[in-house]
């Protein structure tokens, strides 16, 4: 007689959004690699064993990656030294990543229930956290980026880079890699959320859109009223 894991979720057939049933491959997947190409099977394995596995670590690392990207895009280096930028990205990224994990999962649980979602908040947290895997790997891109561009990587003006075609090509290349990784992370989130919620990928996308509307519509109304 087999013993079911206390964390296991019901094995419902989950469609791929086109009317076909998704068959999850058997086997022991390494989520640090399989999350890239098998997000559904990977997250199912995680929630069936321990949905709390590494979620805080992944949230913190994902938050750091997002803060580094924000610091570069918004020119934090115009006001801060390189050391200060990296320190702020580390400290603020850890805190914001964990906050995003819990608040985001709660809102996805709430809005997902409107459209038939069945996941627990713990399983949604797992989906949110493990979708950060591409971002975590993407942090490796920052190492050559900082080595090549230094403080200029976080400033609006990049005279040294602009004057060197090789550096400019490297900067564009790193930017494209970062863009692909960011998009891949969003795709992983939608696929993982679809799996735990018992959704198609399209309905999971709707779940994410509803969450964003719940956040930004009240803010837009508030700031609109403040501007009157």
pLDDT in tens, 147-161: 999 999 999 988 898
How far is the C-alpha of 170 from the C-alpha of 2, rounded, in Å?
A: 54
Percent helix, percent strand, percent coil in the chain, to nearest 5: 75, 0, 25
pLDDT over 90, % of the chain:
78
Question: Please, which residues bridge with residue 15 across strands?
Answer: 21
CB-neighbour burial class of residue 83 (10 A; exposed 0-12, middle 13-18, buried 19+): exposed
Check if the beta carbon of residue 85 is closer than 8 Å to that of residue 76: yes
Average pLDDT over residues 197-216: 95
pLDDT at 17: 41
Give, in order, the Cα–Cα distances in Å from 80 to each of 103, 158, 177, 179: 30, 15, 26, 25
pTM beyond cutoff 0.95: no
Least confident of 16-30, 50-64, 110-124: 16-30
pLDDT at 4: 44
pLDDT at 1: 41
How far is the C-alpha of 87 from the C-alpha of 74, rounded, in Å?
A: 16
């Amino acid at each position: 007689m087999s013993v079911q894991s206390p964390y296991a979720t019901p094995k419902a057939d989950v469609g791929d959004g086109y009317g076909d049933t998704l068959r999850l491959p058997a086997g022991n997947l390494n989520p640090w690699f399989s999350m890239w190409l098998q997000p559904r099977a990977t997250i199912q394995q995680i929630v069936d064993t321990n949905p709390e596995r590494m979620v805080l670590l992944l949230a913190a690392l994902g938050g750091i990656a997002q803060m580094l990207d924000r610091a570069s895009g918004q020119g934090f280096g115009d006001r801060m030294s390189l050391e200060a930028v990296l320190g702020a990205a580390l400290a603020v990224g850890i805190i914001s990543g964990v906050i995003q994990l819990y608040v985001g999962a709660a809102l996805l649980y709430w809005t997902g229930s409107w459209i038939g979602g069945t996941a627990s908040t713990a399983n949604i947290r797992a989906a949110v956290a493990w979708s950060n895997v591409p971002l975590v790997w993407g942090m490796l891109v920052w190492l050559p980026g900082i080595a090549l561009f230094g403080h200029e990587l976080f400033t609006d003006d990049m005279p040294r880079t602009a004057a060197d075609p090789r550096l400019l090509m490297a900067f564009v290349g790193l930017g494209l890699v970062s863009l692909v990784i960011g998009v891949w992370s969003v795709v992983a989130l939608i696929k993982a959320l679809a799996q735990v919620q018992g959704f198609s990928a399209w309905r999971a996308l709707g779940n994410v859109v509803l969450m964003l509307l719940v956040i930004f519509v009240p803010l837009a109304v508030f700031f609109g009223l403040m501007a009157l």
